Structure 1
Amino acid sequence: MTPVHILAASENPLLPAWYDIVWSAICLLIVFLVVWKYVLPAFNKTLDERAERIQGGIEKAEKVQAEADEALAEYQKQLADGRAEAARLRAEAQEEGAQIIANMKTQAHAESERIVAQAQTQIEAERQSAMVQLRSEVGTLATDLASRIVGESLTDDQRSANVVDRFITDLESQSSAQPVKGA
């Protein structure tokens, strides 16, 4: 027999010896028990802690997100309230401005009427003063003219006053009879 046949007849080269299989199984069983008893619980504990931290982080994130949503809603509400308040204040300011303008117009109108009335009073006083001055000057001129025409002196106050009054009355009747030009 050849050396290969001898080897083939005694053992299968692909199968290990039975004592190797037993010792390998014992070692595998010991490693399995150690892993089962010590490594797997520690590994599970680590995974559980990590899962709890992740779950806590998710819950915390959801809580923070809910608070942020509430804060955003509150901010938007306050912003809307602020805009409404600003619009109300603008409307009030416009209303107050219109009232102030109306008051100022009323005051300006009253002031202009007062100034016009004062000016009319002043004009009337100046007209009366001019009339008095004109009467005295016309009276003096009329007396001088009458003295020249009559040829006698009209220095007597009573006579002069009568002549002046009669002359002014004649002038007024003539001016009222004639229509005023440009009026």
Structure 2
Amino acid sequence: MDILIPRPAPTLVCVLAFAAIFVCLSKILLPRINSVLAERHDAIDGQREQAERTAIEAGEVLAKYREELAEARHEAARLRQESLEQGTQLITEIRAEALRERETMIAEAQARLATDRVIAETELRGVVVSLATELASRVVGESMDGVAQESNIVDRFYSDLDARSSAGLQ
């Protein structure tokens, strides 16, 4: 049972050695370890704070981007609507101009037709008079050129013809 009871000299050496190691560790190593841990803790906290600031800034930038994107979409929609209205207005103006040109062209064509009709009618009357005179000359056997030109027969015939045609049109 002597083995279980330590002797005082080795116990004292062990206690002194333990005290020396404990003092060395507590005075030299533990402050260094604590300072390294504190630096790491500060670095981690700094990085976390920086990450939080970066996340907040990223959120603000994202919100600003979304706002600008929404504004751009609204502007694009407004421009599309404006272009559509301008296109519609332009088409309306072009159609109105085309209708005016068409009416002008129709009026000019009708005026030309009326003029050509009068010219053709005048020429035709002269030809009809000469043909009628020639036919009458053949039937009678004498020249009727002087008689047809001097008498009012042709003028009366054409006035009766005009009166009938105007009465028939109405």
| Pair in the same fold by TM > 0.5 | yes
2:60 matched residue in structure 1: 70
The percentage of counterpart residues that share the same residue type is: 39
Distance (Å, rounded) in 2 between the aligned partners of 1:78 and 1:137: 85
Among 87, 98, 108, the alignment partner of 1:97 is: 87
Runs of 5+ in structure 1 lacking a partner?
A: 1-7
1:164 matched residue in structure 2: 154
Deviation at 1:15, TM superposition (A): 2.3
Contact 1:143 1:160 survives alignment (8 Å): no
Q: Could you tell me which amino acid in structure 1 is paired with residue 110 of structure 2?
A: Q
Change (3 A) 1:129 1:116: same
Q: TM-score normalized by structure 2?
A: 0.90
Distance (Å, rounded) in 1 between the aligned partners of 2:166 and 2:136: 24
Q: Could you tell me which amino acid in structure 2 is paired with residue 87 of structure 1?
A: A
Q: Could you tell me which amino acid in structure 1 is paired with residue 11 of structure 2?
A: I
Deviation at 1:169, TM superposition (A): 2.1
Distance (Å, rounded) in 2 between the aligned partners of 1:146 and 1:172: 23
Q: Relative CO higher for 1 or 2, CA cutoff 8 Å, sep ≥ 6?
A: 1
Q: Larger C-alpha radius of gyration, 1 or 2?
A: 1
Task: Please say if 1:124 is aligned against 2:104.
Answer: no
1:142 matched residue in structure 2: 132
Q: Could you tell me which amino acid in structure 2 is paired with residue 111 of structure 1?
A: E
Among 40, 61, 75, the alignment partner of 2:51 is: 61
Provide the secondary structure at the position in 1 that maps to 2:144.
coil
Q: TM-score normalized by structure 1?
A: 0.84
Runs of 5+ in structure 2 lacking a partner?
A: none
Alignment length (residue pairs): 170
Contact 1:147 1:154 survives alignment (8 Å): yes
